[in-house]
Structure 1
Amino acid sequence: MKKRLLCALLALSLFTLPGCKRDPEPVEVTAFAMDTVMQLTACSGDTGGTRAFLGELTARLTELDSQLSATREDSFVYAVNHAGGEWVEVPDSTVLALLHDALSLCEVTGGALDITTYPAVKAWGFTGEERRVPSPAELEALAEKIDYTAVALSDWAGEGRRGGAALPQGMEMDLGAVAKGFAGDLLAGEVREVGITSALLDLGQSTIVAVGSKPQGTPWRIGVVDPAQPGSCFAVVELEDCAMGTSGGYQRYFEQDGITYWHILDPDTAAPARSGLASVTVVSPSALICDGLSTALFVMGLEEGAQFWRDHPELEFEAVFVTEDGEIYCTAGLERRFTLAEGFEDREVTVLE
């Protein structure tokens, strides 16, 4: 957690805040939600009003967290997971929209992203303090219960007829792979609605949303974590009205008998994805796309992930792949917005066409 926070602060201090030093001054608020530290920064002439507004956004984050947490016993997701197959009423249309978006991403990625891996995540110990390696038989049984198509939804139908969700008994879902991105898109929309044209929403764990540019019109410059040295950033991506999300094995992992096991699981095996990648960074107008696809592309691996990018221009995303051998691949649409950081200029970058 300390390493992730260090790099997030490094990215902000080196690449963002200098652009806000001119009038208007940046206003920042910090919150803890969705198991991570979040920092919201906005540049506005109305310092007091902006601070109050950002406070409202942190309250919105807390509200979403209370609905989407898989561990809070009063949350909607927890209720679905423990309903024994019965329908659970969706608290509001926002949550229903998230479920639809999440399942759409699961479908378009062919299940490389699957929101029903939660029992396997728990079995590995990534939801608690004690890590463990499940047996092959246990993994086989866990994999059989990973299937996003088993999530049943009934749509919102007006007052008195709310939407609902259900899962077969023994299955559980977790929206952690998309929740921060969804929240980022939601908050960015609210920022734009109040007329703020320059803001940076750092939702933690490498999920960042840029609203507009810096006040003087230059892009926000965000560091990309080096998976081999998580305390440093090997590259910089320029963002303007865009979002960025990174998934990497370095973010949450443990070692046992000389083998590293990370939290990004392959839905087909219920085990850590062994795709040859160390991290994937996705850039898109949608933070939800960034979050969901960074996980899915990590599971797919370089070759399949690059082909997915070629096959799905409608998703409007670009990506940076870093292999376990340290090779860097960048999709063509990101080439002009991607530069190697100081100290990493000698690294070779292959542009994917």
Structure 2
Amino acid sequence: MARAMSRRRFISISGAVAGLGVAGLGRKATAKADLAVWRGTMLGAVATMKIYHPDRNEAERLISAACAEARRLERLFSLYVEDSALVRLNRTGILVDPAVEFVELMETSLRHSELTGGLFDPTVQPLWDLYARHFSRPDADRSGPDKASMDAVLAHVGYRRLSVSRDRVVAPKGTAVTLNGIAQGYVTDKVVDLLRAQGIAHTLVDMGESRAVGARPDGLPWEVGIADPDTPGRTQTVLSIEDRAVSTSGGYGFRFGPQGRFNHLFDPTNGGCGHLYSSVTTIAATATAADAMSTAFSLMPVVQIRSLMQPAGIERVHLIDAAGAVSELVV
């Protein structure tokens, strides 16, 4: 749940053909054969869309509409847009007459909080602020924030402190919300919904998390490469997916302090950080579920992950533990 340039996700995406043209943010998509590709940034992460369509102009129209929808949702959920709904909630403690999507995502977040016994918790933002303040000091104690500071912050952390209804969302004083552990998946799903409604049957959408619609037109699955957490730029494994979403969480996405002992995967029960795994990748029918549960699973032993996969709608989990050992869990 890190800030914009420290997004935990590092996934490479393979298209159907090599040497594809790439469009910058705000430019027209380029295409080769019937594949149109767009690449830019969304919610602080590299974002891509790959759409197969016989009509180049229609493909560009769809990409433009999808980007507009993603930007609209970004203005609700981003911590980095000054006037976003989330920033206003954290600043004032209340949102009156919130957008339908904001309520929907908050309710979805709270359901994942309940399911995971609070290990997925949208109120961990004060922990980010604490660690950021602590390690920004030149004389920062390398062992991390002191107990008194941690206890004071933890008093404001806890998803049950939030009140969510159709007409208002309330966060008590001192409590701050982050949706960085779920919003990118949610936006990915919304963009997929839009494209499907327009008849798109073959696409790969990544608004910070990846979701495939169908297979590639040649009948082969899409390929999503999972990064090696210890070697930047190297792919550890490649997953083949059709009509599924993939999300990866790993402490390597951002670390606090010169020794890198602390990362952005916060444990809301004690204020510590996740160290069980170098990387956790989930595969599910929706990017929202994959996103939320890759975050939560980062704090759980394998036996607990197994017990929650089916209730959470997670079909497969790819784990790289702290020692580098790789394992696969399948429902």
- Fold equivalence (TM over 0.5): yes
In the TM superposition, residue 130 of structure 1 has moved relative to its aligned partner by: 7.3
Residue 71 and residue 145 in structure 1: after superposition, are their counterparts in 2 closer, same or farther (change >3 A)?
same
Q: How far did residue 102 of structure 1 move?
A: 1.0
8 Å contact 2:225–2:236 — kept in the other structure? yes
User: Can you give the 5+ residue segments of structure 1 that lack an aligned partner in the other structure?
Assistant: 156-162, 334-353
Distance (whole Å) between structure 1 residues aligned to residue 171 and residue 263 of structure 2: 26
| CA shift digits 1:301-339 (9 cap, x unpaired) | 333223322xx3462432111101111111135xxxxxx
Post-superposition Cα deviations, 1:61-109, rounded to whole Å, max 9, x if no partner, equal 111111112243311111211224xx42244212211111111111111
CA contact (8 A) 1:4 1:231 kept: no
Distance 1:2 1:153, change over 3 A: closer
2:242 — aligned with what? 240
Change in 2 beyond 3 A, CA 1:6/1:98: closer
In the aligned structure 2, how far is the partner of 1:143 from the partner of 1:193?
Answer: 43
Q: 1:218 to 1:20 in 2, by over 3 A?
A: farther
Mapping of 1:313-324 within 5 angstroms? 313=311, 315-324=313-322
Residue 301 of structure 2 corresponds to 301
Closer/same/farther in 2, CA of residues 273 and 5 from structure 1, 3 Å limit: closer
Structure 2: how far apart are the matches of 1:7 and 1:71?
A: 20
Q: 1:196 maps to what in 2?
A: 200
Alignment-derived partner of residue 112 in structure 2: 105
Distance across 1 between alignment mates of 2:79 and 2:301:
28
Instruction: Determine the C-alpha separation between the residues in 2 that align with 1:95 and 1:176.
Output: 13
- 1:183: how far off? 0.5
In structure 1, the partner of 2:56 is 47
Q: Name the Cα RMSD after superposition.
A: 2.8
| 1:216-235 alignment runs, 5 A limit | 216-235=218-237
Q: Secondary structure at the match of 2:62?
A: helix
Matches within 5 A, 1:143-162: 143-155=154-166
Distance 1:146 1:251, change over 3 A: same
Which one of 109, 132, 141 corresponds to residue 125 of structure 1? 132
User: What is the distance in 1 between the residues matched to 2:96 and 2:226?
Assistant: 39
2:137 and 2:239 mapped to 1: Cα distance? 36
Paired positions, count? 314
The TM-score, its normalising length taken from structure 1, stands at 0.81
Alpha-carbon distance in 2 for matches of 1:95, 1:76: 8
Q: Deviations over 1:4-56 (max 9, x none)?
A: 89964xx33xx323289898521112232211221111111111111121112
- The aligned counterpart of 1:330 is 328
CA contact (8 A) 1:208 1:243 kept: yes
**Structure 1 range deviating more: 258-267 or 287-296:** 258-267
The change in CA–CA distance for 1:115 and 1:269 in structure 2 (over 3 A counts) is same
State whether residues 228 and 236 of structure 2, in contact with CA within 8 Å, keep that contact through their aligned partners in structure 1: yes
What runs of 5+ residues in structure 2 fail to find an aligned partner?
A: 21-30
How far residue 193 of structure 1 moved from its aligned partner, in angstroms, is 0.7
- Once residues 190 and 279 of structure 2 are traced to their aligned partners in structure 1, the CA distance between those partners, rounded to angstroms, is 26
Question: What amino acid is the match of 1:192?
Answer: R
CA 19–316 in structure 1, closer or farther in 2 if over 3 Å, else same:
farther
SS at match of 1:185: helix
Consecutive aligned runs of 4 or more in structure 1 exceeding 4 Å deviation: 1-8, 19-24, 128-132
Aligned-partner SS, 2:73:
helix
Kept in 1: contact 2:42–2:71 (CA 8 A): yes
Map of 2:264 onto structure 1: 263
Farther-moved stretch of structure 1 (37-46 vs 24-33): 24-33
8 A contact 2:249–2:279 mirrored in 1: yes
The answer to whether the 8 Å contact 2:227/2:235 transfers is yes
Percent identical across equivalent pairs?
A: 24
Match of 1:285 in 2: 285
Q: Could you report, residue by residue, the CA deviation over 1:130-175 in whole angstroms, capped at 9, with x for unpaired residues?
A: 79632222112212211101110122xxxxxxx2100111111011
1:73 aligns with 2:82: yes
Instruction: Provide TM-score, normalisation by structure 2.
Output: 0.87
Indicate conservation of the 8 Å contact 2:5/2:44, yes or no: no
